[in-house]
Amino acid sequence: MRTAPGSTAAGLVVEVTGEPLTIDDVVAVARRGAHVRVTDRALAAMAASREVVEALADDDRPHYGVSTGFGALAMRHIPVERRAQLQLSLIRSHAAGTGPEVEREVVRALQLLRLATLATGRTGARPVVATTYAAMLDAGITPVVHEYGSLGCSGDLAPLAHVALAAIGEGEVRDTAGAPRPAAVALAEAGIVPLVLAEKEGLALINGTDGMLGMLCLAVHDLRTLLTTADVVAATSVEALLGSDAPFAEDLVALRPHPGLAASAANLRALLAGSPVVASHRRSDAEGRPRYTRVQDAYSLRCAPQVHGAARDTLDHAAAVAGRELAAAIDNPVVTVDGRVESNGNFHGAPLAYVLDFLAIAAADVASMSERRTDRFLDVARNEGLPAFLADDPGVDSGLMIVQYTAAGIVAELKRLAAPASVDSIPSSAMQEDHVSMGWAAARKLRRALDGLGRVLAIELLAATRALDLRAELSDVGRARAHPGPDKPVGLLPAAGTGAALALVRRVVAGPGPDRFLAPEIDAVYRLVAGGDVAAAAGAAVGQLA
């Protein structure tokens, strides 16, 4: 990431050079408020390609986006005196989104990514367009973009048009405090001169897949944390349900050489290493080889690294696609390196739409397995001697009975969100745009899916940590009965990694006891999961987790 070090977000600078940004660059600007600087080299590249466009500006021959209409109106020739109006009309007419506002981080990500494409010099936009976008990002001016308006082909037209509309001083924005403001007022207060669009610039500002890509970058970043956290949570459940760590052995997982499987199993081994709970039900045969009281654990325990690993491999593929897209210069028409202006189909969102859908499937399946482990904790037939529903006084207390309902409801929703958007297509623009990707919709539902996955993992962690505490209490009682007297043995303790997760949860949620209001506890643990605190705490105890 091309950032300057600083102790606060204000000290971070992301340089837009015309070379590919990274996912970390996108996250830094979108979420952390990093400043944006367009380099002189990028501005020079823009100026050079602008000369190509200006050479065509007075040409009577048709050039798409310069001297023609758009979409199905591409056959309409636009006279020279109307071509500046053509660009302004394009932005106004295409800013046609509706529905709830899109999150600030998504808008900042898509604006940064459009700026990065401008800086490649392949769009023909003037340098002032790039510097204006950078100034808006630095000033914290966030255009209001709406949920609906993109079909994921010809780019994210309506979302990007709303950003461009703000840059010309029209429409509505939100300021750094999140308050709604007229764009013209916010720009004036920040000392930013509204853009006056020249030939082709309106098209260059909206004909990209930046909304889809921005949401993919954020999702890749978030899902990496969630999958590491899923390993921590699964290890805690294996331990608390008296499961075996034997299936995670390196030589066993090496028989199926998937990188994600190896990484997840390595995490589980590290997290469960030295666990007194696991050791308590391990036996040895005559040759000293470990044996457990159960021959095999349920799939939701034994196969956790297979499912989590498959999700990791899917994520790696998605990250590779994101990397290629970050290296792309998407516009139509595009100014080629040798000075031609050519129409193309690179704005089609299929590459992004597919992996956005793939990630939603992976998120749903990881959550589904997590919910099954939660359910095992609550069932006396399967929870290895723990009280029903992990309740303090089952019958009087319901314990965690209903948190499983919540997890099940989320998982059901995630299954619906896993239905691919990318297999749909609704023709538009009088059948000129007769196949579209629906990648924006795939990205929107993925964001909801990742939120749901985090909540399901939080619910499992809530149950698993309560079960570990109850397990320790039960061992205390049993040992006290076997060894009466003042020197009562200490109850079973978890492993270092899972113990760190337990200690972190206990900072925000009390241990077992009579029934209490659970919704705030779920939300408190969810914040630890989504913020990466659980993965960080466990990693600090056992070493860096994959």
Instruction: List the CATH number of the domain containing 191.
Output: 1.10.275.10
CA–centroid distance for 19 within its chain:
23
Query: What is the per-residue pLDDT for 105?
Result: 98
Q: Tell me the chain's radius of gyration from C-alpha atoms.
A: 28
- Is 375 a member of any domain? yes
Average per-residue pLDDT for the chain: 91
Task: Let me know if 64 is a catalytic residue.
Answer: yes
Residue 184 forms part of a structural domain: yes
> Where does a domain end: 157, 174, 208?
208
**Do 304 and 222 belong to one domain?**
yes
Domain count, the chain: 2
Q: State both tokens at 339.
A: 């000075």
pLDDT computed for residue 4 by the predictor: 41
d(CA 244, CA 228): 20
**Are 116 and 238 part of one and the same domain?**
no
Give the domain extent around 348.
218-542
Residues 172 and 305 grouped into a single domain: no
Same domain, 226 and 166: no
Q: 483 and 404, same structural domain?
A: yes
Mean pLDDT value across residues 173-189:
97
For residue 8, is pLDDT > 50?
no
Statement to judge: residues 273 and 310 lie in one domain: yes
Top-confidence residue, 495 or 77: 495
- Report if residue 1 sits inside a domain: no
Q: Which of 64, 133, 148, 405 is catalytic?
A: 64
pLDDT above 60 (res 9): no
At residue 149 the predicted structure's pLDDT band, cuts being 50, 70 and 90, is very high
Asked whether residue 509 falls in the same domain as residue 426, the answer is: yes
Looking at the domain assignment, is residue 4 inside a domain?
A: no
How many angstroms from the chain centroid is the CA of residue 213?
Answer: 11
Do 173 and 34 have their domain in common?
yes
What is the Cα–Cα distance from 498 to 234, expressed in whole angstroms?
A: 10
Distances (CA, A) of 140 to 56, 57, 105, 437: 36, 34, 11, 31
Any domain includes 422: yes
Mean pLDDT value across residues 207-235: 97
Q: For residue 416, what are the contacts with CB-CB under 8 A and spacing of at least 6? A: none
Could you tell me the CATH number of the domain that includes residue 468?
1.20.200.10
**Domain shared by 158 and 17, yes or no:** yes
Enter the pTM of the model: 0.93
Q: How far apart are CA 229 and CA 497, in angstroms?
A: 11
Question: Is there a single domain that holds both residue 271 and residue 122?
Answer: no
Of 166, 181, 208, the residue at which a domain comes to its end is 208
Indicate the pLDDT class of residue 429, thresholds 50, 70 and 90.
Answer: confident
505 and 413 in a single domain? The answer is: yes
Q: Are 324 and 362 contained in the same domain? A: yes
pLDDT classification of 292: cutoffs 50, 70, 90: low
Position 490 in a domain: yes
pLDDT in tens, 452-494: 999 999 999 999 999 999 998 876 554 444 444 444 444 578 9
Last residue of a domain, one of 148, 182, 208: 208
Q: Is residue 75 part of a domain?
A: yes
How confident is the model at residue 483, as a pLDDT?
A: 47
State pLDDT tens for residues 390-428. Answer: 999 999 999 999 999 999 999 999 999 999 999 988 888
Q: Is residue 213 domain-resident? A: no
Whether residue 104 contacts residue 96, with contact meaning beta carbons closer than 8 Å, is answered with no
Q: What is the mean pLDDT of residues 214-220?
A: 98
